[in-house]
Structure 1
């Protein structure tokens, strides 16, 4: 058992470092792309392109993880991504940035489903499953608090290109770490005997997973709007990258606050997802109506993200047997990518005519309505089960 705890610590360290490095680029990508000559629409295309390649990889990796194991699909993508980030530091035009970002999106697509499938093996029951997901979330949020501020500072002091190079070398180091220390374990499979998923089609047909995927799309659509709009303040209003990094920090603190409430894992994950999505939409509504300023709105939206994301991971592991976790998490990651694609592309087109926050509110509320209809149309014995 002690060995299992140590092995779990290694995957937690890996996820923290990955989150930290990825979060560094939050406040610097948009001004870097703009400096290379990209327009607002082109920046939206760049964000959408990486998410599109990410989505493609997500759908491919699920069956591969279930068949060949998880660690190989963690170590190799990190190594490739490290090389690509180093290459970011040597480009001279936005076309090269677009190509590198698209390839990197495909490489990283294999990472997250494999990592979450690996983490799912370190749980004895559903509640412990939720705690593991929450711990990963907390580590990611701590990274999100510190890294954007560091990224903004690095972008200001050493330049965007050098910052990307540092990120790349750090990823190469962590890739070596995963090869040496990561181990795959299955303490106790968390199964749902009703779920008999054998391929991607049956995963999509699982009603409980449909609720998760719809919620995931809505949340990531909203998250994509925030990721696009907040860094663009450096271009539109002359904010420094350090200031935009601080704004992302407000969102991260809110997420950390909700993830720290471990008692929430006693409650049904589907209900937690719906509750979080509802208040996420309300926070958006309060902001675009001028009832809240941006820092407080970001804090509340971050709090809601922290309610939804661990619940989604727990709901996935409860809905399918452990042998199907790769497929289920692969589809979930693909849905996340789809939400980011839709928000990045649509926001770039409509932002001059209508508030992207308002559209995000509409998307969230419409999907919440559909989720509520599906949930309350399910048989009561399934709807009320706690798995």
Structure 2
């Protein structure tokens, strides 16, 4: 059952990553202006964040399996609509609904994984799920770019659409039904979301999730610009990003993944953030290609430490009845971080080296804030409060 869930995570993230290299030229080919192209790209993350938050309510109400079946089916259908898009306005609408429906998938998958994993192996399970994300980050852009250039852009959307519908069938047949919330209040309230965010231990995880994806947003925006300006060729941007993904996957899948069940998740969280912050800053002072690969290796180590620590922290400090809402908010902060990382550095109109320094400094500030919260609050009390 776990292998099927990991496969769902891979397919869900490939759906997103495969469109990174093709969406801008696709929008441009339809006659979109630069402003509209930016809106089309950002629309997915915006609506995805809404989907993440809504998913928590439905996961706890009808169960993660049902959410996955419906979400995969609807997302597969919506992806097929890209084939019929002929104007920038139509593309913007499809992007909105694509991001909204896809926002239900990952929280449901991680909630389901947390239900079926043994309590003493949650860290390892989250590490393996992180490996699934890393595999998607490597395969997705390559699939999108190569298939679009070789066979046309429609051949990117059609296989993904079919795969998602097939995954929905597999989930409906092979996954067992999981528990739903037994709480009396089934309504979705903003006050309930605020209550979860204000829970100290969960708030630490949400700030950590935002920080991780803020770094990813800065990296995705600035690294290709630096590599191109240094004259190394655009293909090295992909190789550098693949380096961090490969390093992370190795740590996730090798026996090193045992460290996530052996050491404090809060301490690992801080260590991972510090490594990523130093790596981002290091990119600003590095111009030699071999040094860039070394820095990206360090970045991969930081990512590999941080991601499972965050997700395990969410599981260890939430009740099953609220698990869906907790993960829904968690991935909403993920989406918010990506948007903030790329848009803030873009609005500041800084060059790539300044962008890396700003990103590293922002992460260090967040790390200090998280360290302060960890020392200030007793997380055992926070857990008891969450489970009530």
TM range (shorter): 0.7 to 0.9
The alpha-carbon deviation at position 57 of structure 1 amounts to: 2.0
Within 1, Cα distance between the matches of 2:46 and 2:379?
37
- Answering whether residue 258 of structure 2 is matched by residue 263 of structure 1, we say yes
1:296–1:61 distance in 2 versus 1, CA, 3 Å: same
Q: What is the TM-score normalised by the length of structure 2?
A: 0.84
The alignment partner of 1:183 has SS state of coil
1:235–1:53 distance in 2 versus 1, CA, 3 Å: farther
The alpha-carbon deviation at position 274 of structure 1 amounts to: 0.9
Aligned partner of 1:133 in structure 2 is: 126
Aligned partner of 1:59 in structure 2 is: 53
Aligned partner of 2:312 in structure 1 is: 314
Within 2, Cα distance between the matches of 1:43 and 1:225?
19
- Answering whether residue 274 of structure 2 is matched by residue 278 of structure 1, we say yes
- Answering whether residue 239 of structure 2 is matched by residue 252 of structure 1, we say no
**TM-superposition CA deviations, 1:316-363 (whole Å, max 9, x none):** 111111211111111111111111221232243334567432322222
8 Å contact 1:16–1:143 — kept in the other structure? Answer: yes
Q: CA RMSD in A?
A: 3.0
The alpha-carbon deviation at position 49 of structure 1 amounts to: 2.2
Aligned partner of 1:191 in structure 2 is: none
Q: What is the TM-score normalised by the length of structure 1?
A: 0.84
The alignment partner of 1:96 has SS state of helix
The alpha-carbon deviation at position 123 of structure 1 amounts to: 2.1
1:148–1:244 distance in 2 versus 1, CA, 3 Å: farther
The alignment partner of 1:71 has SS state of helix
The alpha-carbon deviation at position 310 of structure 1 amounts to: 0.9
- Answering whether residue 201 of structure 2 is matched by residue 208 of structure 1, we say yes
Within 1, Cα distance between the matches of 2:229 and 2:40?
18
Which segment drifts farther, 46-55 or 349-358?
349-358
**TM-superposition CA deviations, 1:197-234 (whole Å, max 9, x none):** x9323312211111111111111111122334456789
8 Å contact 2:281–2:359 — kept in the other structure? Answer: no
Aligned partner of 1:145 in structure 2 is: 138
8 Å contact 2:21–2:144 — kept in the other structure? Answer: yes
Question: Where in structure 2 are there 5+ consecutive unaligned residues?
Answer: 180-190, 383-388
Q: Where do 1:77-226 residues align within 5 Å?
A: 77-125=71-119, 127-185=120-178, 199-226=192-219
8 Å contact 2:12–2:105 — kept in the other structure? Answer: no
Aligned partner of 2:303 in structure 1 is: 305
1:21–1:200 distance in 2 versus 1, CA, 3 Å: closer
Number of residue pairs aligned between Structure 1 and Structure 2: 366
Q: Where do 1:20-35 residues align within 5 Å?
A: 20-35=14-29
The alignment partner of 1:184 has SS state of coil
